[in-house]
Amino acid sequence: MSKWLDMLKMKRITYKLFVTTSLILLSFAVLIYVSLYFFLPTFYEQYKTNQLQTGIEEIITKSKDLDLQYGVLLLDAFAKKNNAVVYLQNKEGVIIYSPFFSSVRKGYSLSAEVRVERAKPIVNSNSFDVAVPIQFLDAKLTLVVYATFQPIDEASQVLVLFLPYLSVIVIVIGIASAYLYSRFITKPLLYINQGAQKMANLDFSEQIEVRSTDELGELSTSLNELSVNLQQTMQELHNANRQLKSDIEKERAVETKRREFFAIAAHELKTPLTVMKGYLEGMIYHIGPYRDRDQYLQKNHQIVEGMEQLVREILSMSKLERDTFKLQLEEVNLSQLVDKTTADLEYFAAQREIQLMKHIASDIMVHTDRLMLEKACKNIIHNAIMYSPQGEKVCIQLTQDVQEGSIQFQVINTGVNIKEEDMQQIFEPFYRVEKSRNRNTGGSGLGLYIVKQIFDALGITYSMHNIEQGVQFAAVIPKSRQ
């Protein structure tokens, strides 16, 4: 039962159109039948009257040029054509000719008139009866015409008798025609509706194919175009939404790192400030060893220098992260830059009894930001010296691959390895392999993070991993920034 109800609901437009068309056809049939029954007799009577009058006028006009002997031929033709009683009579009322009195016509003679008293026909509303003068060349007579309209009344009665049969025929033909018409018209509409419902449910797997050049064909084409546009728009929205989610996640990650960074930075600054405060209070109140003001002023000075270095690194890193930061690109002799940076750190290496070994190819040119690249190279070499055991070696290599058009920069420090879990985070801000965070055994933890920021900005690929002799940092520098 529910299935039939669903079908009826889906095809209600078919049934509406079927019922409407059936009613229209039946209404027209009834209207035509009623019109025939009521208006056909009047119309026929008027038509017949006009026809008879026109024929009489034509006979009167032509008889003026004919003798009576030839004029009666017109009367014969008129009587046969209109199924009318026609006769001629003289002024005394004697019938001298009629098609129904053949003996009179054959024995026609002006001197021997057959006198027959005119028999008056029964006249009613369904008849035509007129007497008009008619002029022949040889006689002036009266033309009498009589016709009955009774056959049309009989036809109306036959219509009434035929009504049951006619009604069955009209109903069958009307219903069948309405059904076929409604099916023909609504079939493409139902098909289009099914396709539109699929589109409403975001199912664009099928195209609506209505092969027609009328409005239904245009509608199917428009819906197909709408389907394509919706698919494209939804895909674009999906991509935009996915990109937005990715951006939001990245922003959240950046915000989280920023908060962590400021928390760690605050901790890094808080610790030396606390130490300085203790030193200063001891000197102010002459407590124990703090009476030696010169010694602790020197220590405070060292703490301030360390804090100053940390602030410079934070500002440098912040500068790299700003959207307004722009690189100052120029042609740089990388060989001289690396050689100079290594020379500047030789004294620091000597203090730690670290041997610096250089293998630098000459006159390697690169289009880059001199200050940023110099800072990154200095941090890498300094970091290698800082974390190498006493008496070990730090090897700096700079070579050029002519075929690939790239430059390889490597720094290897021997005698040490980094745990794998530390290697994964070594480029994070404030991360130090040495957990005590003692400034005498390590830096602030921002050196390699700044290297990461600079190399990312310059388009330089880099990596750090353990080798048999120690730890290797490798970077591939393009001849020009990508």
- Specify whether the CB–CB gap between 358 and 396 falls below 8 A: yes
DSSP state of 480: B
* pLDDT tens-digit series, residues 326-367: 778 889 898 999 999 898 888 888 888 889 998 988 888 888
The token duo for 324 is 């307004």
The token duo for 98 is 């009629």
* pLDDT tens-digit series, residues 199-242: 777 776 667 666 666 666 777 777 777 777 777 888 888 888 88
- What is the C-alpha R_g of the chain? 61
- Specify whether the CB–CB gap between 418 and 433 falls below 8 A: yes
What is the residue-wise DSSP string for 11-31? THHHHHHHHHHHHHHHHHHHH
For the chain, the residue count is: 482
Question: Is 442's pLDDT higher than 70?
Answer: no
Rounded Cα gap, residues 469 and 475, in angstroms: 18
Rounded Cα gap, residues 315 and 50, in angstroms: 117
Confidence (pLDDT) at 106: 38
- Quote the strand ranges of 92-152, DSSP E: 95-97, 127-135, 140-148
Confidence (pLDDT) at 386: 85
Q: How confident is the model at residue 317 (pLDDT cuts 50, 70, 90)?
A: low
Confidence (pLDDT) at 119: 37
For the chain, give the percent of residues with pLDDT over 90. 4
Handedness of CA 77, 78, 82, 85 (dihedral sign): negative
Rounded Cα gap, residues 278 and 290, in angstroms: 9
Within 8 A by CB and 6+ apart from 310, the residues are 265, 268, 269, 444, 446
- Specify whether the CB–CB gap between 75 and 94 falls below 8 A: no
Q: How confident is the model at residue 113 (pLDDT cuts 50, 70, 90)?
A: very low
For the chain, give the percent of residues with pLDDT over 70. 73
Highest mean pLDDT among 18-22, 346-350, 448-452: 346-350
Confidence (pLDDT) at 319: 65
Question: Is 124's pLDDT higher than 50?
Answer: no
Q: Are strands 406-414 and 393-401 parallel, antiparallel or unpaired?
A: antiparallel
Q: How confident is the model at residue 22 (pLDDT cuts 50, 70, 90)?
A: confident
Q: How confident is the model at residue 370 (pLDDT cuts 50, 70, 90)?
A: confident
- Quote the strand ranges of 261-354, DSSP E: 329-333
Highest mean pLDDT among 13-17, 183-187, 446-450: 446-450
Confidence (pLDDT) at 478: 85
Question: Is 50's pLDDT higher than 80?
Answer: yes
Work out the mean pLDDT of the chain and round it to a whole number.
76
The token duo for 268 is 């890094």
* pLDDT tens-digit series, residues 396-436: 999 987 766 788 999 999 888 888 777 777 777 766 655 54
Between 67-76, 332-341, 366-375, 445-454, the lowest mean confidence (pLDDT) is in 445-454
Whole-model pTM: value is 0.45
Rounded Cα gap, residues 289 and 303, in angstroms: 18
7: helix, strand or coil: helix
Sheet holding 95-97, edge to edge: 95-97, 85-89, 140-148, 127-135
Confidence (pLDDT) at 156: 67
Q: Exposure string (b/e) for 231-268, b if CB count within 10 Å is 16 or more?
A: eeeeeeeeeeeeeeeeeeeeeeeeeeeeeebeebbeeb
475 forms beta bridges with 409, 462
Rounded Cα gap, residues 244 and 326, in angstroms: 26
- Specify whether the CB–CB gap between 387 and 372 falls below 8 A: no
Q: Are strands 365-369 and 329-333 parallel, antiparallel or unpaired?
A: antiparallel
* pLDDT tens-digit series, residues 269-309: 666 777 777 777 777 777 777 777 777 777 777 777 767 76
Confidence (pLDDT) at 204: 65
The token duo for 404 is 């690939």
Rounded Cα gap, residues 144 and 129, in angstroms: 7
Three-state SS annotation for 353-373: CCEEEEEECCCCEEEEEHHHH
Confidence (pLDDT) at 401: 79
* pLDDT tens-digit series, residues 96-109: 888 766 444 433 33
Confidence (pLDDT) at 313: 66
Rounded Cα gap, residues 354 and 386, in angstroms: 9
